[in-house]
Chains A and B, each alone.
Chain A
Amino acid sequence: MKYDVRQLGLISNEEIAAGIFDMKLAYGENKIPVVCGQFAHVYVPGKSLRRPISVCDARNGVLRLVYQVKGEGTRIMSQMKPGASVDVLAPLGNGFRIQSGRRYALIGGGIGVPPMLYTAAKCEDPLVITGFRDASLVILQDDFRRAGAEPLLCTDNGSVGKKGFVTGLLREKMEQVDEICACGPLPMLRAIAELCKEFGKPCQVSLEERMACGVGACLVCAVRVQKNGEELMQHVCKNGPVFNAEEVVWNG
């Protein structure tokens, strides 16, 4: 069986920035290996839908989920205490495809930054660019350093790091990398996709959409893509969350 729902012990669940929580779960060593960019589907007691959260890290037998409290479900998640048992369906989806011998730019915007940590750990000497709205929302900078990547930092208002968007930094560094992986808000991903097209560099983007089953059965989390000149609907949970940027129909 490819899929499994497991009860994972909650190790810690701490607020690391305003409204952003860092949940660590005992994943164990003998579970299905996690590919960077995959996600976990977390059961929230009393809710009809699981919450899909991208995997921030999965090294050393710990499944780490860094998530933002956006509504009732994530609020309930944020109140889960160490020692609790968390019902998790993971890993799901197709993650970033990382090849050896290539230099990657890993770009995260806001709550799109967390999956880039595990991705950075899987890359050789990646260029990491992280962007946030302002200083109060900056996360994971030391974690990237411990994973061997010095993250470049920018904020929309310049309250810390360089003032501006991640695309500005990427444009400056584009010649240094072979391929780009990105996760963040849709306008950021669209801008990165255009920039990569301009420079002729391949680009993988991690998309988000309101989701139900998590495995490709209910067809809810649709994204319009083009393959071989034909447009069709694919699904974030099964075909993604990582897509080739040039296949995404951005106004679809």
Chain B
Amino acid sequence: MADLSVQVAGVSFANPLIAASGTFGFGREYSEFYPLSRLGGISCKGITLMRRDGNPPPRIAETPSGILNAVGLQNPGVDAFIRDDLPWLKEQGTVVIANIAGNTVEEYCRMAEKLSETDVDMMEMNISCPNVKSGGVQFGTSCESVAHITRAVRAHCRKPLVVKLSPNVTDIASIAQAAEAEGADALSMINTLTGMKIDIYTRRPIIRNNTGGLSGAAVFPVAVRMVWQVSNAVKIPIIGMGGITTWEDAIEMLLAGATALQIGTVLFSDPYAPIKISEGVNRFLDENNIQSVTELTGAVKPW
């Protein structure tokens, strides 16, 4: 049994597999499949200052090796999360990451204040949601706006702060550097790639929001490339995600430069995927006489 534990920004994870925000709710449903302590952590459904109902349906479309979604940050609001979900989550024996999203910088700051008073383990600042009209990705697509919001939220956030990056940018490495320079403790990447699917008979987009975020195996090579580029540009740890489906994908993402991993879309076809991936990674380490999973991080040998 190799050592699967990892550290991200001073927080210890029993293994590098974290459930990705938006695919796992606040964990209750998947706790009916397996104990959540088998996961390294949970990144909670994105929460906003006030309750949001999200977008009208349809909110999802299947695409080759992936899905498009536009849920639109449906959530009960930060106060309800702290009151109704966090106490239960903290009893599950896994790292709890609160994913926060806002319409304004001020909203992010107020949520960071509120969550700093709780026993949330980390905060993941979502400046990359492509499916909401205001806020979301608009904060994450230029170095100036990323620097501005990271600096502002950093001043209110007394927990390790993870900045979740959008892939819908021209130069993700410089955006990552902007977040690092303003005090981000870690980065998580990639959020979904904006996409679209049209019903050729009705000529309507399948998703009511017209566009949605592409995730799943289809985006995996893009995610690996971006994690690799960013890992070469920053010193802070990266939580890698984007289409990880098998344990081989997990190894690949670690080699590209990730310290921990988030698992999302694959849950929809296989709810046990994080457990299987964790077991596969452990087997790979044992078979290759690697003592600790941390030895894989950034160990790609580029040409």
Contacts and interface: CB of A to CB of B under 8 A. Distances in A.
Contacts of B87: none
A220 B264 CA distance: 14
Given A3-B271, A49-B67, A217 B62 contact: no
A221 interface: yes
Contacts of A233: 53-54, 74
Contact of A49 (B32, B45, B268): B268
B25 A216 contact: yes
Contacts of B268: 48-50, 212-214, 218
B269 A48 contact: yes
Contacts of A252: 56
A219 B71 contact: yes
Given A222-B56, A233-B53, A3 B25 contact: no
Contacts of B74: 219, 222, 233
Interface in B47-105: 53-63, 65-67, 69, 71, 74
Interface string B18-46: 00001111000110111000000000010
Contact of B62 (A49, A214, A218): A49
Interface residues of B, number: 37
Given A213-B23, A221-B57, A3 B32 contact: yes
Best-buried of B24, B57, B65 by chain A (most CB within 10 Å): B57
A232 interface: yes
Interface residues of A, number: 33
A252 B71 CA distance: 15
Contact of A47 (B22, B53, B71, B269): B269
A210 B54 contact: no
Nearest to B52: A233
A89 B71 CA distance: 23
A215 interface: yes
Contact of B25 (A48, A211, A217, A231): A217
A238 interface: yes
A1 to B, nearest CB: 6
B32 A1 contact: yes
Interface string B239-275: 0000000000000000000000000010111111000
Determine which residue in B67, B71, B270, B271 has the highest number of CB atoms from chain A within 10 A of its CB, and name it: B271
B230 interface: no
B60 A220 contact: yes
B29 A238 contact: yes
A215 B29 contact: yes
Nearest to A221: B57
Contacts of A211: 60
A90 to B, nearest CB: 13
B183 interface: no
A41 B111 CA distance: 36
A217 B23 CA distance: 6
A250 B265 CA distance: 30
Contacts of B269: 43, 47-50
Interface string A33-52: 00000000001000111100
A218 B74 CA distance: 10
B237 interface: no
A48 B265 contact: yes
A221 B207 CA distance: 12
Given A48-B216, A48-B269, A218 B71 contact: yes
Given A49-B62, A213-B268, A218 B25 contact: yes
A2 interface: yes
A73 interface: yes
Contacts of B30: 215, 217
A48 B24 contact: no
Nearest to A216: B29
8 contacts: A3-B33, A48-B66, A49-B62, A49-B67, A210-B59, A216-B25, A216-B29, A222-B57
Interface of A: 1-5, 43, 47-50, 73, 89, 209-224, 231-233, 238, 252
3 A-B pairs with the lowest CB-CB distances in the bound complex, closest first: A217-B25, A2-B32, A217-B29
Given A210-B58, A221-B59, 17 more contacts: A3-B33, A4-B33, A43-B270, A47-B62, A48-B63, A48-B67, A48-B216, A210-B206, A211-B60, A217-B25, A217-B267, A218-B23, A218-B24, A219-B25, A219-B59, A220-B57, A220-B69
